[in-house]
Amino acid sequence: MARVLVTETLSEGGLDLLRAAGHAVDVRTGLGPEQLLEAVRGVEALVIRSATKVTAELLEAGRDLVVVGRAGVGLDNVDVAAATERGVMVVNAPESNIVSAAEHAMALLLAQARNIPQAHAALVAGRWERSRFEGVELHGKTLGIVGLGRIGALVAQRAHGFGMRIVAHDPYVSDERAKKIGVELCPLDELVAQCDFLTIHLPKNKETANLIGKDLLAKAKRGIRIVNASRGGVLDEEALAQAIESGQVKGAALDVFSSEPCTQSPLFELPSVVVTPHLGASTGEAQDRAGEQIAEQVVLALAGDFVPYAVNIAARSASEAVRPYLSLAERLGHVIAALSEGLPDRLEVIVEGALFGEDLGILTLAALKGVLAEGSDEPVSYVNAPRLASERGLEVRETSTAAAIEYVSLVTLRSSAHAVSGTLAGRNAAERIVMIDDHGVELPFAEHLLVVRNDDRPGMIGVVGLACGDAGVSISSMAVGQTAGGATTALMAVATDSPVPDEVIRALSSTPGILDVHRVHGGGPAER
């Protein structure tokens, strides 16, 4: 029997599952920070939702903790790195609310198209304004879905039932996968230019922050209607308000906001905007599923069994020889995803040298974590990475050989279009990139990296350096390499102290002699 502390409301079904497994369940909601520090002492499992903050200090107090369970998807309120360091498993319930979220997106779509909240408010206020609230049909219209993960795919399925044409943008989904669910993939600019309705289903990260902003809205089909039931901050709310006022956007429906709780916004003053207070997962069924799923995961963790929704810990099953390379493989995954601008068409994980003969399966999982990190609407773990790769149509292959020409061990990730290699170097086993797209380069990983492929001619380094300098971006290190065999192209890998702005990327891309430019985020220190 283990002690389980539940600090937020959990479904009775979930509590019953914990008790049926023989555990002592202590439900204590509304605890303050000091009370929580005291309550967690001697507890083996902690079950939370979104309000409880699981900090390094709390984990230190909970010295007996085996598992922290988050009854929901997001883990922003859990210090996963600190939990991993202490050997505490973190689990979530990533499939608990996907149906509810998809249905709420459709509800917002219909409410916006038919002016349902506005008509309701007028009627209960004593006004019969039938002619004022003329709407539009969904049938025959084009729906653009930004983010074709599990929720986006469910929205597509439901929209098909309304007779809509579906187009989508998701660089982490293969064409083959999209075709199977009756969706046509296209670049984001092309998508907004042709769709009548746009619905957003993206995680919030560096790549997606304010992705739907002023510039993109200006390129949209005039009269587009926008729904956001995913994450606040992906849609620039100020830019949206301006676009609605100008008539570029006909209307919008939002369930999420950049800052929550949100009770004031310029959007609230616009009659063509429908809003709800983050209700996407607020159904009885979703709450029941979240409670039951997290209880199942906690019971498995306490029993020492395989836990399907664990988001950490699995790396500890790697051998002593392989374990130091897991962070390297994950970082390489970030780099090849950035070079591919999304999901590679395929992924080959190639290991050369001293690691030959080791079980390399977990190294491949680490690489997948890096590749999928920016494009998943749930935290990517060693456990769920294969499922997410399969859902997105990513073919993965492992190759190993005992021969390594220049390095003791070398890890390479390769697709049909791009490749990146890394190794551990020196007395401190520092992680270094040593090849990008078959150009020999060597430099440390950095949080911000610019990769430029150019004609091999004088002056190109100066062009890049000047562009960064004019933008106030400092270069911390740089490596330049030619293509093996003496080809006429060269490649620069430039580590910077801050992200290179979009306008610099555009300017460099149009400069004669520069063939392509890629910006890499997340190549810096990985969570261990």
The whole-angstrom separation of Cα 339 and Cα 208 is 17
Catalytic annotation, pick one of 12, 137, 260, 503: 260
Residues 185 and 146 sit within 8 Å (Cβ to Cβ): no
**Angle at alpha carbon of residue 403, lines to 400 and 404, rounded to 5°:** 100
Q: Assess whether 231 carries a catalytic annotation.
A: yes
Question: Which residues, 6 or more positions from 490, have their beta carbon under 8 angstroms from its beta carbon?
Answer: 439, 453, 454, 455, 456, 460, 480, 481, 482, 483
Nearest to 492 by CA among 449, 435, 451: 451
Catalytic annotation, pick one of 177, 278, 289, 518: 278
Crossing angle of helices 284-303 and 12-20, rounded to 10°: 20
Nearest to 143 by CA among 134, 157, 156, 131: 156
Name the pairing type of β-strands 249-254 and 45-48. Answer: unpaired
Q: Assess whether 278 carries a catalytic annotation.
A: yes
Residues 82 and 103 sit within 8 Å (Cβ to Cβ): no
**Is the preceding omega at residue 171 within 30 degrees of 0, hence cis?**
no
Report CA torsion sign: 407, 408, 413, 416: positive
Residues 384 and 307 sit within 8 Å (Cβ to Cβ): no
The whole-angstrom separation of Cα 315 and Cα 334 is 18
Residues 375 and 208 sit within 8 Å (Cβ to Cβ): no
Percentages (nearest 5) of helix, strand, coil residues in the chain: 35, 25, 40
- Give me the phi and psi of 307, to 5 degrees please: -115, 105
Residues 101 and 317 sit within 8 Å (Cβ to Cβ): no
Beta-ladder partners of 401: 352
Radius of gyration of the chain (CA): 25
Catalytic annotation, pick one of 231, 439, 448, 519: 231
HSE-CB at 216 with a 13 A cutoff on CA atoms is 21
Residue 487 burial (CB count, 10 A) = 11
Residues 46 and 65 sit within 8 Å (Cβ to Cβ): yes
As given in the structure block, the two tokens for residue 102 are: 């998809």
The number of residues making up the chain comes to 528
Question: Which residues, 6 or more positions from 459, have their beta carbon under 8 angstroms from its beta carbon?
Answer: none
The whole-angstrom separation of Cα 490 and Cα 119 is 62
Query: Which amino acid makes up residue 445?
Result: F
Looking at the annotation, which residues are catalytic? 231, 260, 278
